[in-house]
Amino acid sequence: MSKQLITILGKSVKNIAKLRGGGSALPGLVVEHLDPNFIKHTLATLPLGVVVISGTNGKTTTTKMVVELLQDQGLKVFTNKTGSNFSRGVAAALLGDIDIHGRLHADIAVLELDEAHAINFVDRIPPRFSLILNVMRDQLDRFGEINHTTNLLRHIANSTTEKVVLNREDPRVAGIALSLDDKKVHLFGLDDKLLSVFPSDDNLHTKVIKKRIVTKADVILSKFKTNSATFLIDGKEVKTDLKLTGIYNVFNAAAALTLVKVILGNKLDQSKLIETLSQITPAFGRGEILILDKQPIELVLVKNPSGFRLGLKSFNPLGYSTMIAINDNYADGRDMSWLWDVDFSSLKKLGVTQISGIRAYDMALRLQYDEVPIKYINPNLKKAIKHFIAVSPNQPKRIYCTYTAMITIRRILNKFTNVEAIK
Amino acid sequence: MNNKTIKILHLYSNDMNIYGDYGNVLTLKRRLEWYGYTPKVIEYNQGDKFPDEVDIIVGGGGQDSGQDKIQSDLLRIKHHLQKMADNGAPMLVICGLYQLFGNFFKTNDNKIIKGIEIFDIETYAKSERLIGNIIVNSKQFGDIIGYENHSGQTFLGHNVLALGAVRLGAGNNSEDISEGARYKNVIGSYLHGSLLPKNPEITDFLIEKAIINKYGEFKKNKVIDDSLVESARKTALKRPR
């Protein structure tokens, strides 16, 4: 079948799927079935090639940062921004951006890929650049073990043709550097003083901080406050204001800066880079703030113990009414064990206003054992949200939620306030 | 709270703590407090001196790499653990340490990792991973609810009893319906979840044995409100594999 025909067919399926309000991956699935090399051939035309971003936590916001940073440097960027991070999601995103002749008008592709699905992708389309963020215990029922996840990420690094950016402070990710040519490796890191604030998976239950596997780093996050941060870029101190919330997002900014520096080399406009960074907002549900009745509602996505702990450390409960919503659908992970690896004692003093989600009672039980007071429990998200809003008027609110709970909560909140709907 | 202390030993807390097994330690600690006792948690890691006067032992699962790290140390403290088990000390070992409390673990490349032979069980590495929600029925504890995630498959010998029979899930292996093992007051199981918070019958069994061993009788100063765990169990029983 000709490329033009496949393109037209794919675009039609995409429009029909949109009319039906269907999922974002279906048209991609159709096109991939018709032409398995569709993505490969289309991406091969890009002058600056393909960039892959993977890791267990923070992919979406980091990808958003990298895309916006590159755009402000004057590049035309293709990305899979619908959050559909499997290869058929990439195909679906491509369909939206190519012209009728199947040409993609972009300089570079920046793709967020799920660690399990990235393997198939990089085997077919070796990226020029890759960024590996971290390995945290995430949906282990899907991947088996954390060391297995590391091997998946190592495979991405090995398939990368030019440069690999790695997290110096995550021992599993930094360890990937040992199997790569030194010239291929770039790292981002943290000042020693900040290490204890960002626990890696190894020190969930121990305070012993292990020695670093590699010591060099292109960009180091050296200080941060609520709305500002200081980075050491090639040893030079750069301070900037930030709209990003959550310290994990700020650390991922160091990752994004490193990657963009590596991609652009001496063509980089650094002052522009920092100016752009100061304006970037987090991706939906990653510390984003909605406004309802003049009060902020913060959505904090939690999907594994390290992420939940960082969330609790990032956001001071003082003055806020707190809700937690835990689902156990496939995309959330079915196993509830992870809740027991999170320390909830920071909520002890002020308590939790509302608990919801399919596993609301598992969450409540977890809080009982940290002796955190709970006001209301209702597994039904719609009722719980309404109640949560009703019982905490004139107060800022914060909702910690798993992935599918977040999708539902956004849909519910959309009825009360202007929320960007998830495509 | 009285000043009657109960010492909980957390076995290999640094390397064998995957999948929320810390929840088991926390649950024992809190329920002891709520019953009016003074719990003391001791973390034991490889190379440490084996502490005296331990009342309860808890151990969890780990990565394969974690298992390698602790194996020789476990053989070093084998006689302490065996003696305690023979004397009726309550213990709970999950997943990785459950396997190593048995006779051996045979890896994919046919390497034999020796266990400490408290349970007459043998474990074989398999390619299939047994993953999902699991419900086990035991005469003593009723329905035991948890989550399993293992590729080692365990087979019971003649001198050991199962913890229970699988109603949903795989349990010890994909061939029979047994799950876990019992020797005196030692319980081995594949169940994470964490196991103890959602199965207070087992928690209270371990606590009662520890207190009777040490103080002769168990007096509950307080009844614990278990309404949340009852609701959590009801939900868990309805969830898919």
pLDDT-flagged residues of chain B (< 70) = 1-2, 64-66
Residue A336 near residue B193 (C-beta atoms within 8 A): yes
Claim to verify: residue A261 and residue A225 sit in the same structural domain: yes
**A106 or A323, higher pLDDT:** A323
How many domains, in total, are found in chain B?
A: 1
Among residues A225, A258, A279, which one ends one of the domains? A279
Q: How far apart are CA A46 and CA B18, in angstroms?
A: 43
Claim to verify: residue A256 and residue A309 sit in the same structural domain: no
Q: Residue A40 belongs to a domain with what CATH number?
A: 3.40.1190.10
Per-residue pLDDT band at A21 (split at 50, 70, 90): very low
CA-to-CA separations, B17 to A62, A312, B131, in angstroms, rounded: 30, 21, 18
Q: Residue B32 belongs to a domain with what CATH number?
A: 3.40.50.880
The number of beta carbons lying within 10 Å of the beta carbon of residue A113 is: 26
The answer, yes or no, to whether residue A9 has pLDDT greater than 50, is yes
- Write the pLDDT tens digit of every residue in A338-387: 999 999 999 999 999 999 999 999 999 999 999 999 999 999 999 999 99
- Which residue of chain B is at minimal alpha-carbon distance from A147? B63
**Closest CB from B132, B149, B229 relative to A365:** B229
Claim to verify: residue A378 and residue A237 sit in the same structural domain: no
Q: What is the pLDDT of residue A421?
A: 42
Claim to verify: residue A24 and residue A161 sit in the same structural domain: yes
Residue A63 near residue A286 (C-beta atoms within 8 A): no
Claim to verify: residue A269 and residue A303 sit in the same structural domain: no
Q: Is A199 inside a domain boundary?
A: yes
Q: Is A419 inside a domain boundary?
A: no
Mean pLDDT lowest for which of A91-100, A114-123, A197-206, B74-83? A197-206
CB contact under 8 A, B192 and A338: no
- Preceding peptide of B13 cis, ω within 30°: no
Mean pLDDT lowest for which of A141-155, A158-172, A212-226, A302-316? A141-155
pTM above 0.90, yes or no: no
Claim to verify: residue A273 and residue A347 sit in the same structural domain: no
Q: Which positions in chain B have a beta carbon within 8 angstroms of at least one beta carbon in chain A?
A: 13-14, 17-23, 26-27, 30, 63-65, 129, 131-133, 147, 149, 151, 192-194, 197-198, 228-229, 231-232, 234-236, 239-240
CA angle A72, A74, A77 (to 5 degrees): 85
B95 catalytic per annotation: yes
CB contact under 8 A, A205 and B17: yes
The number of beta carbons lying within 10 Å of the beta carbon of residue B95 is: 26
Q: What is the pLDDT of residue B164?
A: 97
CB contact under 8 A, A340 and B147: no
The parent domain of residue B18 ranges over 5-238
Claim to verify: residue A64 and residue A166 sit in the same structural domain: yes
Please report residues of A whose CB lies closer than 8 A to that of B192: 335, 337
CA-to-CA separations, A171 to A160, A246, B15, in angstroms, rounded: 20, 22, 15
Catalytic: which of B79, B95, B150, B158?
Answer: B95
Q: How far apart are CA B83 and CA A261, in angstroms?
A: 61
Please report residues of A whose CB lies closer than 8 A to that of B129: 144
Claim to verify: residue A62 and residue A180 sit in the same structural domain: yes
CB contact under 8 A, B23 and A369: yes
Among residues A279, A312, A330, which one ends one of the domains? A279
Residues 6+ apart with CB under 8 A from B66: B12, B15, B16, B18, B96
Please report residues of A whose CB lies closer than 8 A to that of B63: 145-147
Q: Which helix (H) or strand (E) holds A320?
A: none
Claim to verify: residue A327 and residue A213 sit in the same structural domain: no
Taking the C-alpha atoms of A63, A68, A70 and A73 in order, what is their torsion angle to the nearest 10 degrees?
-170
Helices (H), A112-246: 115-124, 140-143, 146-159, 171-175
Q: What is the pLDDT of residue B37?
A: 94
CB contact under 8 A, B20 and A144: no
Q: Is A345 inside a domain boundary?
A: yes
Among residues A258, A279, A300, which one ends one of the domains? A279
Q: Residue A406 belongs to a domain with what CATH number?
A: 3.90.190.20
The parent domain of residue A44 ranges over 3-279
On the 0-12 / 13-18 / 19+ scale of CB atoms within 10 A, B85 is buried
Residue A226 near residue A256 (C-beta atoms within 8 A): no
Best of A202, A309, A362, A367 to mutate (most B CBs within 10 Å, chain B): A362
Residue B99 near residue B123 (C-beta atoms within 8 A): yes
Claim to verify: residue A67 and residue A125 sit in the same structural domain: yes
Claim to verify: residue A220 and residue A360 sit in the same structural domain: no
- Which residue of chain B is at minimal alpha-carbon distance from A357? B235
Q: Is A418 inside a domain boundary?
A: no
Confirm whether the ipTM is greater than 0.90: yes
How many domains, in total, are found in chain A?
A: 2
Claim to verify: residue A258 and residue A293 sit in the same structural domain: no
